[in-house]
Amino acid sequence: MIIKKTRNAMKLFAAVLLGAIVVSLAACAPCGILPLGRSESRTQAPVTEYIVATPSPVPPELIIEADAEEQLLVNIYKRLNPAVVNIRVVKRMESEGLQLPDIPGFPEMPQGPDEFYQQGSGSGFAIDKQGHIVTNNHVVEGAEEVQVTFYDGTTLRAEVIGTDPDSDLAVILVDAPEELLFPVELGDSDRLEVGQRAIALGNPYGLRGTLTTGIISALGRSLPIGRASQVIGARFSIPELIQTDAAINPGNSGGPLLNSQGQVIGVNTAYDPSVSGVGFAVPVNTVKRVVPTLIREGRYEYPWLGISGSDVTLEMVEEMDLPVRRGAIVLEVTPDSPADEAGLRGSSRTVTSMGSELRLGGDIIIRIDDQPVLKFEDILVYILRNTEVGQEIELTIIRNGREQSVTAALGARPSD
């Protein structure tokens, strides 16, 4: 009886042991150990492992803020893009032996043996329901044909009714139904601050309805007239330009620069193709001053003093032994100009300092009427904002180390 139980226990133990060995070998098979009954070797396929990234938690208030920023831009685009138009122009160019290019959509124009026509494009925006559209002067200057394409694709011919090269502004008129015209709201460029949001709308490279964003990078910039159209040797400058890093490219010229309320704060006018993130816009307060006159009279007359100059530098202070450290030095006086008649004097000698030439001896202007002059541009800005042709101004100058006053009656700026 005892022997029988022992044999049964041994059989049970053997069965359990065999099962454990089989299970163990089977579990190790994926690791390269063959299961029972196979003697050949084989290479096990690699197991691909996937790493599932766990996103970092974002505070709900940041998501709300980001959504609000997106919705602000979306709203501005929906409201303002219908006001922006694409402008296509054809200009007659002088050449020798060049053929007239085929320009689809434009009527045939006569050409001489030394003429051809060049096609260009830009942007503009509606300012009323009568069809007046503001753009840059360099966009439409010399145009033989002007076409305007609205946001819905409608294309109409337009007429140039007023141009002002000195501010690079122009007004064109299109006979369009009122439902295509969405006048913009003009802001106040005198209240702008560096760091505020800047939003550009336009048609860069002919890509209609493009929005770019950035900030106001600087205020009060000055560029020679014609810079936007690559004209060299301009005698006058456009003052008070807005500098922005919002992308401005060919075709953006004439489009609006907006603030976060969707108000126009400037007209995109120039960019530097060699520098990324530097663009310029004519301030909207210049638009308010110039455009109504362009609509009424076709041109804008600027008061003119007739000097060229620069800011006073430390080297000038030392070389001329000046009693002031800020101001504007008169370098040249235009013959027969108001400045010439008032007796202002330009620079009379040149010296070399640190490898650079300094023009010295000219009058140093430190005040115009009751306003201080800290740099040369202050004179230009004051004349443009506060005077008119025929008005007399009083200039406080330093001549030969002594302060004195000069009175000048402003003339009209030459048009050539």
Q: Are strands 356-360 and 402-409 parallel, antiparallel or unpaired?
A: unpaired
Distance of CA 312 to the CA centre of its chain: 29
Residue 340 appears among annotated catalytic residues: no
169 is written with which tokens?
Answer: 């502004």
Selection from 154, 187, 153 nearest residue 76 by Cα: 187
Instruction: Give the residue among 141, 179, 128, 142 at the shortest CA–CA distance from 287.
Output: 128
- ∠ Cα 120 126 130 (to 5°): 115
Q: Any catalytic annotation for residue 168?
A: yes
Taking CA 206 as the corner, what is the angle to CA 205 and CA 208, rounded to the nearest 5 degrees?
125
> What is the CB neighbour count within 10 angstroms for residue 349?
11
Instruction: Quickly tell me which residue has 């434009």 as its tokens.
Output: 106
**What distance in Å separates the CA atoms of residue 199 and residue 215, rounded to the nearest whole number?**
8
User: Which tokens in the block code for residue 283?
Assistant: 């301030």
Identified catalytic residue from 167, 253, 337, 347: 253
Say which of 132, 138, 167, 189 is annotated catalytic: 138
Residue 309: partners with Cβ closer than 8 Å, 6 or more residues away: 328, 329, 330, 331, 332, 362, 365, 376, 379
Catalytic hit among 164, 166, 168, 363: 168
Q: What is residue 254's DSSP assignment?
A: T
Within 8 A by CB and 6+ apart from 168, the residues are 136, 137, 138, 225, 228, 238, 267, 269, 270, 282
Q: What's the 3-state SS for 323-375?
A: CCCCCEEEEEECCCCHHHHHCCCCCCEEEEECCEEEEECCCEEEEECCEECCC
The alpha helices in 196-336, defined as continuous H runs, are: 284-297, 314-320
CB atoms within 10 A of CB 134: 28
8 A C-beta contact, residue 294 and residue 127: no
Q: Which two tokens stand for residue 398?
A: 């330093």
The CA R_g of the chain, rounded to the nearest whole Å, is 37
Is residue 49 classed as helix, strand or coil in its secondary structure?
coil
Active site residues: 138, 168, 253
